[in-house]
Amino acid sequence: MKKKIALVFGITGQDGSYLAELLLNKNYIVYGVKRRTSLIHTTRIDHIYKDVHLKSNLILRYGDVTDFSNVFNLIYQIKPDEVYNLAAQSNVGVSFELAEYTAQTDSIGTLRILEAIRILDKKRKMKFYQASTSEIFGNSPEKPYNEKSKFEPVSPYGTAKLYSYWMTRNYRDAYSIFASNGILFNHESPRRGENFISRKTIIGLIKVLKGEQKCLHLGNLKSKRDWGHAKEFVNAQWKILQHKIPDDFVIATGKNHSVKDLVNLVLKKLNIKHKWKKDKNNLEYAIALNNIGQIKKSQIIVKQEKRYFRPNEVHNLIGDSRKAKKILKWKSMINFEQLISEMIDSDLKSIM
Ligand code: NAP
Ligand code: F7E
């Protein structure tokens, strides 16, 4: 039987690496798009990538979704069965500083891929997956969010992603392209980028324990997120494209926790006893109650800092993925505590 060909934009990212593993295990030929960078950074996929001169089912090509001729050429040459658009400037906080670049990548980047598919795939055989996000719900009041909830994004990232969500639906309806949105809630793993809250907290507190960093500085501790495991969530991405019709699905665990819960859990797992206090500006900080590692009793180990607050915030995200459970037979099995424990163990091994 002819092997299926997948084209993955964003293969060097957290999800891209897990998705590539999953597709290779399912015997796909996987083409991954990597950006030109001054230093090669393919760390997340090095374990599955063989020397370019050896025969392999994983092939890397240079590319960038801000370059239409490149996107068009890749789709023209590779003729994939499935296209996964995971490429994005994915940091919500950074999107306030790089608003135009975020739109170029997260909105128009998607349009470029959809246009290339529309022009090149006359027989409408290609399937397209769009990495949509819970950020498109913003602070919409009716929770938990499902596929019918109202969209009210509050950041350049969320707004850019909402454009892509609608373009994916528009191209499906107008041109009969098999184009689907996975509306994924936060998902983490040991491969999560170091400036997202889960990884930043874990790495930061391990460094504080080792005496390499005095204190962990954070922003909003009150916001709540529905955190799942990336490995499970990429399985949903694949399932969305195997469904007989193109459609949109919310992918979430259905449970949420605050940033402060996350910090408390990491401190507990590292055996750092602590107490929260407030300063005169009402900013919170945590002090150690025990001597442990390089930490001295009464040391300030976590501190809120204004610079890490965003101009606008999504306060409370929780998803309802009953549709995915019913139609795709997908459900999250790894809970918050298991996820964080796995991430801590992984970072303890590499940092200690
Ligand atoms: P990530 O780790 O930040 O990976 C993003 C990927 O996109 C990286 O491979 C990155 O390349 C690539 N990329 C960035 N700009 C690009 C451009 N202009 N052209 C081509 N590639 C570009 O993100 P992730 O956590 O894996 O998330 C995957 C996708 O799901 C993203 O679209 C994200 O917005 C979306 N999403 C994520 C979550 C989550 O909680 N993780 C939730 C919902 C939706 P470099 O490695 O070169 O930077
Ligand atoms: O922030 C708060 C921050 O950056 C989570 C992306 O994958 O999920 C992710 O977006 C919360 C926010 O993720 C710091 O204000 C406090 O309330 O880990 P995060 P995010 O913004 O939820 C969605 C679904 C995506 O689609 C995105 O691509 O934590 N927070 N202090 C902080 N966050 C960070 N990063 N750094 C802090 O110091």
Ligand closest to the CA atom of residue 165: 1
Q: Separation of 18 CA from ligand 2 center, angstroms?
A: 20
Question: What confidence category does residue 188 fall into, taking pLDDT thresholds of 50, 70 and 90?
Answer: very high
For residue range 307-344, what is the model confidence (pLDDT) as tens digits?
999 999 999 999 999 999 999 999 999 999 999 999 99
β partners of residue 250: 183
pLDDT number for residue 55: 76
Alpha helices in 176-308 (DSSP H): 197-210, 230-242, 259-269
Give the mutation target among 94, 106, 135, 186 for probing the ligand 2 site: most ligand atoms within 8 A of CB: 186
pLDDT digits (tens, 9 = 90+) for 197-206: 999 999 999 9
What mean pLDDT is reported for the chain? 97
What proportion of the chain, given as a percentage, has pLDDT over 70?
Answer: 99
**Contact 308 CB / ligand 2 (< 6 Å):** yes
Instruction: Dump pLDDT digits (tens) for 255-313.
Output: 999 999 999 999 999 999 999 999 999 999 999 999 999 999 999 999 999 999 999 99
What residues act catalytically? 133, 135, 157
Distance from the alpha carbon of residue 170 to the mean position of ligand 2, in angstroms? 29
Helix (H) or strand (E) holding 224: strand 224-225
What is the distance between the alpha carbons of residues 272 and 288, in angstroms, rounded to a whole number? 7
In sequence order, which residues have a C-beta less than 8 Å from that of residue 322 and are 6 or more positions away? 146
Q: Which ligand neighbours the alpha carbon of 184 most closely?
A: 1
pLDDT for res 51:
72
Q: How confident is the model at residue 352 (pLDDT cuts 50, 70, 90)?
A: low
Question: pLDDT tens digits, residue range 68-126?
Answer: 999 999 999 999 999 999 999 999 999 999 999 999 999 999 999 999 999 999 999 99
Query: What residue owns the CA closest to ligand 1's atom 44?
Result: 133
C-beta of 187 in contact with ligand 1 (< 6 A) = yes
Q: Cα 193 from chain centroid?
A: 9
Q: Order of strands, edge to edge, in the sheet holding 82-85?
A: 58-62, 29-34, 5-9, 82-85, 127-133, 178-184, 249-251
User: What one-letter code names the amino acid at 304?
Assistant: Q
How far, in Å, from the CA of 13 to the mean position of ligand 2?
16
Q: What is the pLDDT of residue 1?
A: 82
**Ligand 1 atom index nearest CA of 134:** 43
Give CA–CA dist 343/202, Å, rounded.
8
Handedness of CA 257, 311, 159, 197 (dihedral sign): negative
Question: Residue 120 is encoded by which pair of tokens?
Answer: 């090149």
Q: Is 250 in the pocket of ligand 1 (CB under 6 A)?
A: no
Contacts of 181 (CB under 8 A, 6+ apart): 130, 132, 165, 168, 169, 248, 249
Percent of the chain exceeding pLDDT 90 equals 96
Q: Which helix (H) or strand (E) holds 34?
A: strand 29-34
Give residue 50's pLDDT: 76
Q: How far is the CA of 327 from the centre of ligand 2 (A)?
A: 29
- CB of 197 within 6 A of ligand 2: the answer is yes
In this prediction, residue 247 has a pLDDT band, given cuts at 50, 70 and 90, of very high
Residue nearest to atom 28 of ligand 1 (CA): 86
Pocket test for ligand 2, best of 90, 183, 197, 312 (most atoms within 8 A of CB): 197
| Atom 41 of ligand 1, residue of closest alpha carbon | 187
Is the pLDDT reported for residue 54 higher than 80? no
CB atoms within 10 A of CB 117: 24
Atom of ligand 1 nearest to the CA of 41: 46
- Residue 314, helix vs strand vs coil: coil
What atom of ligand 2 comes closest to residue 185's alpha carbon?
Answer: 24
Ligand 2 centroid to Cα of residue 225, in Å, is 9
Cβ(267) – ligand 2 distance below 6 Å? no
